[in-house]
Amino acid sequence: MGAERKQYSYRLSLGERLRQRTGGPIRRLLRHRLATVGTLLVLAAIVCALAAPLLAPYDPLEQDLRFRLKPPLWRAPEGEKFLLGTDQFGRDVLSRIIFGSRVSLAVGTASVLLGGSLGLFLGLCAGFFGGWIDDVIMRLADVQLSFPFLILALCIIAILGSGLINLIIVLSLYGWVVYARLIRASVLSIKEIEYVQAARAIGQSTAKILVKHILPNVIAPFFVISSFQVARIIIIEASLGFLGLGVPPPTPTWGNMLSDGREYLQEAWWIGTFPGLAIAVVVLGINLLGDGLRDALDPKTYLKS
Amino acid sequence: MKAYLLKRLAHGLLAILGVLVVVFLLVRLTPGDPALLMLPDLAPADAVQAMRHQLGLDRSILFQFLIFVKSVLSGNLGESIFYRRDVLGLVVQALPVTVTLTFGSMIIALLVAIPTGVISATRQYSTYDNLTMIGVLLGQSVPTFWLGIMLILFFAVLWPILPTSGPGGWTHYVLPCLSLSTYMLALITRLTRSGMLEILNEDYVRTARAKGVTEKVVISKHALSNTMVQIVTVLGLQIGTLMGGAIITEKVFALPGVGTLIIQAIELRDYPVVQGSVLMTAGLFVLINFLVDVLYTYIDPRISFASPGSR
Amino acid sequence: MPLPVLRVQDLKTYFYTGAGVTRAVDQISYDIGRGEIVGLVGESGCGKTVSALSILQLIQSPPGRIVGGRIELEGRNLLDLGTREMESVRGDQISMIFQEPMSSLNPIFSIGEQVSESLRIHRGLSKRAALDQTVKMLELVGIPSPERRVSEYPHQMSGGMRQRVMIAMALSCQPKVLIADEPTTALDVTIQAQILELMLSLRQELNMAILLITHDLGVVAETTERVVVMYAGKVVEEATARTIFRSPLHPYTIGLLGSVPSLDNVTRERRGRERLQEIPGLVPSLDNLPAGCNFQPRCARAMDVCLGQEPDLKEIEAGHLVRCWLHA
């Protein structure tokens, strides 16, 4: 009964009143804190990737079959210890995870940068030139969206072969549509306003005006979109690695490790668990950061909370 | 109504055309002689010659494309190099597994997400809501295949109540569907919640209350129905994500679906199968999206009459 | 004196936000007699809509709350009612129509469905019976070919028609009181006249009381019998419509009337003055009210006592109440 009466009766219990007055501000504060947590996680991942040789206790490629499939915190009689255990070739899981962050972050950032640039360019063309160019570009977007992306990625990798560069190229196709649509909408709206003035202005300055007006509107959403895209691309990269279509072994990638982990799940659960945990933590951090960015850059959502 | 559906139909047909073009280019762009790619390694010379003729390799590229389209439409997707069977048969055999997986996950996601989102919206900032939002965050951050592995670890290895992998009865689909549904579950919960929050402040909801409609009915009939309209718009795209995820889930759980077929075919360089299964999957996806569009016209009366803009 | 159908007594509705307390409605009292048309007048933000929503208890509970007072419907205090009981009052004994006809109807349900909903809830009618009654109601409010219209959707209708639908919806259960919150503000002037006429004729037929909330004095002059003037959450003057226009007492009321252009300068006050008089200053924000009389900062005739103490609402002559130290 209490729940029913909440919204439109004026008689609220003390507890309910308290919660409603503090719940909103608490949520806002937490979001702030969560965004900070996210930023820290992302920074930690970046540090891992950049300083991998310094942080990793072992060479990720070094095999030692004496120590294969050893559990976490296992100590060898000679004194070597493996915090997170070893895999089927005796390689240290922790070191491989640390080095794996390089691939994930590199692919994530590179693909988003590439995809963003592609989207920016195509969106500008579509909006600026209009006409058949606009149609073609929008149709291309539609065709791409009519494939589940993973299948498309599979096919292209099947043709091009696996490898870091190919992977980046394929994944940069993931998000260009979102960027393109954003820019296109922005250009179109500005075009309408400036149309009257453009009649008097010289051709060159129209282009300059477009750039000057579009950029400030678009920068904030670009950052927010990009952060969420990096998160999704890291997961897709790991998926492809899991399927054996990512960066080929022996390079340690989180996806590869998860594939091995699945194989040895019954005997060595740690091989699959920790890399996945790493992915989850990094992606979580990026999502928190993205949420925070979105709240910070759009005062409306921030107040609504 | 008609105008909108016709436009969506045209859209769908264009998409299928796009799919055909892309798949066609797939094999053409793969390094190597297309005829040799379609045949087993040690095929005799006359077989190669026959294949060359069949593919129309001695004619223009446009002609080759037309031959390709013609054979696809007549149901001939070629013959698998590895299995020595028609590709269409192989795909059709594998399809039920993938479809069960995809739709099973979707149903789980919708059944859980929508009530959760509604309750969360009506109890904003409560403990329930906060827990839900944490769940949403986790659900969108955790890679589904890792979740699948963890589920196997806990419910099949450490505590063996469910099978670890392989095809079989419905118990073999429990863990796969659970792991695959996670992302969509989180997404739909979030969308339902934000949609409800927005709609519960709309004027027409106030009108309903002013009429004396019970709050329960206001929520379930007046507000939720409008939220569903918002959700259906993302449904089509989400099914695509699910299909992609199904491929990976099939590998985790060793289910003999279309995904396993494609992966295996790529490893074995069985190009006819790759071509055929991608075609079927993409075609299915286009069809499902079209059906979602049709569904949309039944839900939102405005669409029938408003000018068919892009959604 | 017969019992008023609706009596609002010392109503207080406050909003609690992070910025403090907003006294949207601060001790408002007015009566509405059976079949009477009362106009509730004031600028935007003076609390008239909030007082109306309070009657139906449609105030968003965080952050608003009805803090005190009584709202009596034929003697029964509505604030004592439970949720279920209040739900049965809404739409049945007291109905409300709102300002924005464009957004006040659910876009995905048909007109027929939405209007018959009240009938099915409050009168227990079957779907068929309710629909028949709906057609009759649509006809009553002047919608042409109502049998066709019942299966149409809101977006297929113009603003004026939608407002008629809203009226049909509100009156379908023949309520004792109709609260109309700025029903014509969002409509064309010509449509305005039609809607007002419709409301008047229906009032006649159903002997229904109307609380007409508006900031448009023209509408007040034409339609209402009694007027309640509100300022910054308080009633500042109350009288019959004729009295308000002929001999307004409160400086705010005088200012309001002086700022309305008129074709014939009837009031003694305005004779000789051709320019429109505006009231200087701005409406105070309701969480930061001045000490003493709320209107004092903008009042041309403010006295010392106005700064220190707030005047009470006093009955100066029969049926004419003013809250002002000039007439205390």
C247-276 per-position pLDDT tens digit: 888 888 888 887 666 555 455 454 555 556
State the DSSP string of B104-152. Answer: HHHHHHHHHHHHHHHHHHHTTTSHHHHHHHHHHHHHHHS-HHHHHHHHH
Of B212, B222, B306, the CB nearest to C106: B222
Chains that touch A (3 or more CB pairs under 8 A): B, C
pLDDT at A4: 36
Q: Cβ contacts (< 8 Å) between A228 and chain B: which residues? A: none
* Residues C281-300: tens digit of each pLDDT: 777 777 777 778 888 888 87
| Cβ–Cβ below 8 Å for C57 and A8 | yes
Q: What is the phi/psi pair of residue C17, to 5°?
A: -120, 175
Average pLDDT, chain C: 86
Chains that touch B (3 or more CB pairs under 8 A): A, C
Instruction: Please state whether A68 falls in left (phi above 0), alpha (psi between -120 and 50) or beta.
Output: beta
Cα–Cα distance list, C87 to A58, B216, C94, C122, C124 (Å): 71, 11, 10, 10, 14
pLDDT at B184: 95
pLDDT at A139: 85
Total Cβ atoms within 10 A of residue A192: 9
Structure tokens at B197: 């929050």
Structure tokens at C86: 């209040």
Q: How confident is the model at residue C277 (pLDDT cuts 50, 70, 90)?
A: low
pLDDT at C226: 93
Q: Which chain A residue has its CA at the smallest distance from B277's CA?
A: A151
* Residues B171-209: tens digit of each pLDDT: 888 999 999 999 999 999 999 999 999 999 899 999 999
**Kind plus residue range of the DSSP H or E element containing A74:** strand A74-75
Of B212, B229, B301, the CB nearest to C153: B301
**C240: pLDDT strictly greater than 50:** yes
pLDDT > 70: what percent of chain C? 94
Mean pLDDT of C312-323: 86
Weakly modelled stretches of chain B, pLDDT under 50: 306-311
* Residues C142-154: tens digit of each pLDDT: 899 999 999 999 9
Q: Which chain A residue has its CA at the smallest distance from C20's CA?
A: A21
Instruction: Return the residue in A9, A12, A27 with the most chain C beta carbons within 10 A, the one to mutate for interface testing.
Output: A9
Instruction: Return the residue in C11, C54, C83 with the most chain A beta carbons within 10 A, the one to mutate for interface testing.
Output: C83
Tell me whether A25 touches chain C (CB under 8 Å): yes
Q: Which chain A residue has its CA at the smallest distance from C12's CA?
A: A10
- Rg of the Cα atoms in chain B: 24
| Cβ–Cβ below 8 Å for A10 and C16 | no
**C221: pLDDT strictly greater than 90:** no
pLDDT at A195: 59
Of A26, A265, A277, the CB nearest to B152: A265
pTM over 0.90: no
* Residues C158-167: tens digit of each pLDDT: 888 999 999 9
The residue with tokens 């739900």 is: C87
Weakly modelled stretches of chain A, pLDDT under 70: 1-30, 192-210, 298-305
The residue with tokens 């695959």 is: B180
Structure tokens at A101: 């962050």
* Residues C75-117: tens digit of each pLDDT: 899 999 988 999 999 999 999 999 888 899 999 999 999 999 9
pLDDT at A218: 80
Q: Cβ contacts (< 8 Å) between C83 and chain B: which residues? A: 215
pLDDT at A28: 67
Q: Any idea what DSSP says for residue B33? A: -
Tell me whether C90 touches chain B (CB under 8 Å): yes
Q: Which chain C residue has its CA at the smallest distance from B124's CA?
A: C62
| Cβ–Cβ below 8 Å for B302 and C105 | no
| Cβ–Cβ below 8 Å for A21 and C62 | yes
Report the DSSP beta bridge partners of residue B79.
B86
8 A C-beta contact, residue B215 and residue A120: no
State the DSSP string of A119-172. Answer: HHHHHHHHHHH-HHHHHHHHHHHHHHHTS-HHHHHHHHHHHH-SSHHHHHHHHH
pLDDT at C268: 47
| Cβ–Cβ below 8 Å for B204 and C104 | yes
Selection from A182, A68, A164 nearest residue A120 by Cα = A182
Q: How far is C321 from chain B (nearest CA, A)?
A: 31
Q: What is the phi/psi pair of residue A85, to 5°?
A: 90, 180
pLDDT at B223: 93
